[in-house]
A and B are shown apart, each in its own frame.
Chain A
Amino acid sequence: MAQFMSLAAAVEDNIRDGDAIAMEGFTHLIPHAAGHEVIRQRRKRLSLIRMTPDLIYDQLIGMGCAEQAVFSWCGNPGVGSLHRMRDAIENGWPNPLAYVEHSHSAMANAYEAGAAGLPFAVFRGYIGADLPKVNPTIKSVTCPYTGETLATVPAIRPDVAVIHALRADRAGNVLLEGIVGVQKQAVLAAKRSIATVEEIVDDFGPRNLNAVILPSWTVSAIVCVPGGAHPSYAQGYYKRDNAYYKKWDAISRDRDGFLAWMKTNVLEKGPETFAAERARLAGH
C-alpha cells in the first residue's frame, strides 16, 4: 500500500546508491522536485533511465549522481543541447558517463515489456540504422509465423520508478491525465515507486472513466508537492515554462555557472519552492 510521506523520506526510503531509476514523464509531468531531492541527498552511481533525459537528468548528471544513462533522445526540446550531459559524454565531467542508447519505439516497447512481466520486447525497428552496431543489447528474432526479422530489446525493470501525477486520493490511488507518456508502464515495471502529486483529495469525484489510475497497491510512496513538475507542467494546474527551458541553455552551458545555480536553487532550497512556480504559471 502506498504510504504518504515527505519527499525527503520517500527518496531516503526508496532510492539507494547504484540503483537503476526511471524518472518518467514525456514532456508533461516530469518529476523535477523529486530529482532535486535526489541531488540534495547526494545519491551516487545511479543508472538513469528516461526516454528524454531533459533538464531533470542534465541536473543529476552535472551534479555527479549518475554513472550510466539509458535514453532515446538527449536534447533540450526545441532549444538545443543538454550541456551537462554532453560534457559528461564528451569530456567525462564531473565523471565519465556510460550510456545505453535506444530509439523511442524501443524504449516505449521495453517499458511495456517490463510492465507485462516479459523478458524482452519485440517490434519492427532499427532497420538500416547504426544503433544496433553500438548497443549490443539490441538483438533480433525471426517471427515463427511469417519469417520476418524483428528487433528485440530487453525489458526495462527499474529498481525505482519516480513519477509526478495530478492527484492522489486519501486511499493512496494516483491519477494522471493528459499526455500520460510511459509512466503507468514505468511504475508497473519497477520494484518500487514514488509518485509526487499536485494535490491530495478526499475522493477523485466525477472523472473520466478511462483516466490513468495507479491503484495504491502499485505505488510505494506518495508525496504532495504542488508545482513538482516545474518547469515541465501539470495539465489543468500550470503550463510548461518554455521560457525557463530556454534560459536553461545559458545556465547549463558553463560548469561554474551551473554549480552556482544548483547551489542557490537546489542545494539550499526545498520542495516548497515549486509551489511558487505553480502559482506564477497557473494564471497563464
Chain B
Amino acid sequence: MTETHTSTEMMTIAASRALRNTDVCFVGIGAPSAACNLARLTHAPDITLIYESGTLATKPSILPLSIGDGELCDTALTTVSVPEMFRYWLQGGRITVGFLGGAQIDRFANLNTTVVGDYAKPKTRLPGGGGAPEIATSCGEIFIIMKQSKRGFVEKIDFFTSLGHGEGGDHRARLGVKTKGPTKLITDLCVFEPDAATREMTVVSIHPGVTRQQIDENTGWKVRYANKVTETPAPTAGELEALRAIHARTKVAHGDQV
C-alpha cells in the first residue's frame, strides 16, 4: 500500500466490498450511497441500486444529494410511485440488502434517528425514521455504516427508530421477523458482525493502523472481539481512485465550486 487514505474512505470502501454483484440494494443518502455506487463502479457492475424515491436499477454518474435527484431517474431502468416502492418492492421482499445509518446505535444494532432526549420534549429533534422502520425488517439483511464515537455508540439508545437485534438472541424471530437484520456494522475504525448466539455486534476486522484501544475509547459499551480478528485489507489504488473520482464529479455537479 503506497497510497494514504482517510478513515472515512476506508469505511466507505469496506462497506462497498460487502456488496455482491447479485444484490438488490436499497440505498440511503450519504455514506451508503457512496459505498453502493463504488461497488457498482468496481467489483459489482451488475448490482441493482434502488432509492426510495422509486428509481429502480439506477446508475448515477454522480452521487445524488437527495434520494430523488433527477440523475437517479434519468439513469434508472424504470421509476415507480412511492407507494409501489414501499409496498411491492420493499414489503414484497424484493430487496436483498438495505443500508442504514443513525445518530445512535446500541450493541444489538438497534438504531435511533428520531430524538435525543424525551420524545415529547426532545433535547435534539433528529430527522426521524423515513423508510428505516420497514427497511430494517423487510430487506434480506442490513448493513449499517456509522462513524464510531462515544456519543453515537451508546449503552442505551433514546428511541428505537428501527429494529436491529432487539434485546439480542432470537428477539427478531419472537417478533415474527423473518429477515436477518444487521449482519455488518462498518465504521471508520473496524467491522462488526453479530455473534452467532447472542447477536451482539462483535468486532471481526480492524482497519489498518487502528488499535483496540481506539475502538474501546470510541464505544459506549464494553466491546466484544471475535476469537479471530483480522485486519481489513487496505484500500487498493483502484478503489481509492474510483471513490475520489465520484466525489470530485459530485462536487462539481452540486455547485460546491461556486
**Given A90-B122, A182-B82, are A245 and B128 also a contact pair (CB < 8 Å)?**
no
**A78 touching B64, Cβ below 8 Å:** yes
Tell me if B65 and A240 are in contact (CB < 8 A): yes
- Chain B residues near A258 (CB-CB < 8 A): none
Interface range for A:
35 or more
| Interface positions of B from 1 to 32, Cβ below 8 Å from A | 29-30
- Interface presence of A274 (CB below 8 A): no
Tell me which residues across on chain B come within 8 A of A239, comparing CB atoms.
70
Nearest CB of chain B from residue A116's CB, rounded to whole Å: 10
Taking a contact as CB atoms under 8 Å apart, the answer to whether B53 and A124 are in contact is no
Give the residue name and chain of the B residue nearest to A90 (CB): B125
Instruction: For residue A275, give the distance in angstroms from its CB to the closest CB of chain B.
Output: 19
Residues of chain B with a CB closer than 8 A to A125's CB: 91, 133-134, 137
A104 to B258, CA, bound (A): 34
Q: Within 8 Å CB of A185, what residues of B?
A: 81, 83
Docked-complex contact A105 and B114, CB < 8 angstroms: no
Interface centre among B81, B82, B119, B163 (most CB of A within 10 A): B82
- Note all chain B residues with C-beta closer than 8 A to A250: none
Q: Confirm or deny: B231 has a beta carbon within 8 angstroms of a beta carbon on chain A.
A: no
Q: Are the CB atoms of A179 and B68 closer together than 8 Å?
A: yes
| CB within 8 Å of A: which B120-150 residues | 120, 122-134, 136-138
CB neighbours of B176 from chain A (8 A):
127, 148-149
Residue interface mask B186-205, A partner, CB < 8 A = 1: 00000000000000000000
**Chain A residues with Cβ under 8 A from B166's Cβ?**
128
Q: What residues on A are CB-neighbors of B136 within 8 Å?
A: 128-129
Contacts A28-B73, A78-B65, A103-B132 known; A182 to B83 CB distance under 8 Å?
A: yes
- A128-B160, A128-B163 are contacts. A180–B81 as well, Cβ < 8 Å? yes
Query: Is B79 a contact of A243 with CB atoms below 8 Å?
Result: no
B255 within 8 A of A: yes
CA A251 to CA B217, docked complex, whole Å: 37
- CA–CA, A246 to B65, complex, Å? 9
User: C-beta contact mask, B218-242 vs A, less than 8 Å → 1, else 0?
Assistant: 0000000000000000000000000
In the complex, B162 has a CB within 8 A of chain A: yes
Report the minimal beta-carbon distance from B222 to chain A, rounded to whole angstroms. 24
A103: which of B54, B68, B130 is its contact (CB, 8 Å)? Answer: B130
Docked Cα-Cα span, A242 to B124, in Å, equals 25
Neighbouring B residues of A101 by C-beta, 8 Å: 114, 128-129
Residues of B within 8 A of A112 (CB): 83, 87
Report the bound CA distance from A149 to B72 in whole Å. 35
Q: Is A120 an interface residue (CB 8 A)?
A: no
Q: A105-B91, A127-B175 are in contact. Are A242 and B129 (CB under 8 A)?
A: no
- Within 8 Å of chain A (Cβ to Cβ): is B46? no
Is B177 located at the chain interface by the 8 A CB criterion?
A: yes
Most chain A Cβ neighbours within 10 Å, of B81, B110, B176: B81
User: In the complex the two chains form, is A179's CB within 8 Å of B130's CB?
Assistant: no
Q: Are B53 and A104 in contact (CB under 8 A)?
A: no
Q: Are A181 and B81 in contact (CB under 8 A)?
A: yes
Where the two chains meet, the residues of A that have a C-beta atom closer than 8 Å to any C-beta of B are 26-28, 51-52, 71-75, 77-79, 81-82, 85-86, 89-90, 101, 103-105, 108-109, 111-112, 123-131, 134, 148-149, 178-182, 184-185, 212, 233, 235, 239-240, 242-243, 245-246
| Other A-B pairs beyond A26-B82, A179-B54, A245-B65, 8, CB < 8 Å | A72-B128, A78-B29, A101-B129, A104-B129, A125-B134, A148-B176, A178-B70, A243-B256
Instruction: Rank and list the top 3 A-B pairs by shortest CB-CB distance, nearest first.
Output: A27-B68, A128-B163, A75-B127
